[in-house]
């Protein structure tokens, strides 16, 4: 046959093969742990879909037709290989890929530990300097996303936590020289360096009438750090990210009245990993905010 006839399902093939092996509907039904009437209907449905008789039935015996014998001989090794493949796949511990950009929040270590204990699954950490940490390109199964989720992205999210922002400035730079604390509104008067791929701060966060000037842009965290260190402008980042990614030519300045950075967990709306929803639900006890 050039194609599988419509209506043929794996249960039909397993049912037929059990009867072909036992040559007895009662015994085959016991092997499959189904009722005999249901098994009879299953085999009849396969015969109807194929348009041929596979079994000769009388009140005293069941025998294979020529077509039934051919199907049994070809089907038996195929189903055996399929069962072996499924057993092998099921014997491997499931693995969930957790994507992030610049830094995983500290709470994720506790979350991963709790998730692994609850599911027995492994977790692989995947860093990607891409929007949504490469979630939509298939690089990860669940993504840690700082800042706003891109409008229209085919994802579902849950708020994990919120992080304070800090300013990052070049040592000795004229802007904010010697300051230890700066009000958010004051930053409208300084040039801004923006990471346009995975950054969380842009001039749009300020009112239209008093926004900082965009000094330059960067495509990743390392470029962003070097641009700020070169004195092109001031950078704004989540405090844990700025604290983790230090640079000898940079210093951090605490901000007052700055809007916090929302950190989300995101999963694809369609074709999500089977354990992705479990990970989102596990995050509830670690979240400091309601679901996003």
The contacts of residue 182 (CB under 8 Å, 6+ apart) are 167, 176, 253, 254, 255, 256
Q: What is the pLDDT of residues 152-201, one digit of tens each?
A: 889 999 999 999 999 999 998 877 878 899 999 999 999 999 999 999 99
What is the pLDDT at residue 152? Answer: 86
CA dihedral 145, 150, 152, 158 (to 10 degrees): 30
What is the pLDDT at residue 274? Answer: 87
**3-state secondary structure at position 266:** strand
What is the pLDDT at residue 246? Answer: 87
User: Rounded to a whole number, what is the distance in angstroms from the first to the last CA of the chain?
Assistant: 51
Residue 130 binned pLDDT confidence (cut-offs 50, 70, 90): confident
What is the pLDDT at residue 291? Answer: 39
Average pLDDT for residues 267-286, to the nearest whole number? Answer: 88
3 has pLDDT over 70: no
What is the pLDDT at residue 4? Answer: 58
**3-state secondary structure at position 49:** helix
pTM across the whole model: 0.69
Q: What is the pLDDT of residues 216-236, one digit of tens each?
A: 999 999 999 999 999 999 999
88 has pLDDT over 70: no
What is the pLDDT at residue 111? Answer: 94
Using alpha carbons, select from 142, 122, 131 the residue that is nearest to residue 101.
Answer: 131
What integer best gives the mean pLDDT of the chain?
89
What is the pLDDT at residue 90? Answer: 64
74 has pLDDT over 60: yes
């Amino acid at each position: 046959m050039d194609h599988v006839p419509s209506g043929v399902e794996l249960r039909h093939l397993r049912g037929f093969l059990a009867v072909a092996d036992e040559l007895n509907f009662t015994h085959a039904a016991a092997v499959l742990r189904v009722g005999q009437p249901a098994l009879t209907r299953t085999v009849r449905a396969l015969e109807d879909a194929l348009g041929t008789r596979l079994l000769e039935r009388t009140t005293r015996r069941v025998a294979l037709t020529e077509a039934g014998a051919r199907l049994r001989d070809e089907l038996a090794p195929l189903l055996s290989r399929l069962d072996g493949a499924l057993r092998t796949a099921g014997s491997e511990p499931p693995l969930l890929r957790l994507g992030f950009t610049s830094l995983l929040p500290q709470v994720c270590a506790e979350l991963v530990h709790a998730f692994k204990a609850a599911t027995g699954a492994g977790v692989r950490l995947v860093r990607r300097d891409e929007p949504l940490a490469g979630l939509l390109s298939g690089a990860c199964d669940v993504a840690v996303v700082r800042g706003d989720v891109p409008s229209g992205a085919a994802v579902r999210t849950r708020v994990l936590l919120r992080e304070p922002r800090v300013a990052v400035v070049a040592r000795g730079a004229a802007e904010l020289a010697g300051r230890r604390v700066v009000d958010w509104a004051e930053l409208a008067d300084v040039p801004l360096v923006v990471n346009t791929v995975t950054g969380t701060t842009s001039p749009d966060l300020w009112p239209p009438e008093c926004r900082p000037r965009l000094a330059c842009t960067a495509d990743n965290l390392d470029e962003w750090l070097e641009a700020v260190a070169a004195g092109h402008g001031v950078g704004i980042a989540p405090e844990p990210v700025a604290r983790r990614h230090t640079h000898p030519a940079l210093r951090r300045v605490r901000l007052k009245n700055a809007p916090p950075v929302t950190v989300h967990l995101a999963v694809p709306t369609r074709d999500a990993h089977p354990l992705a929803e479990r990970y989102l639900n596990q995050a509830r006890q670690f979240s400091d905010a309601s679901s996003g």
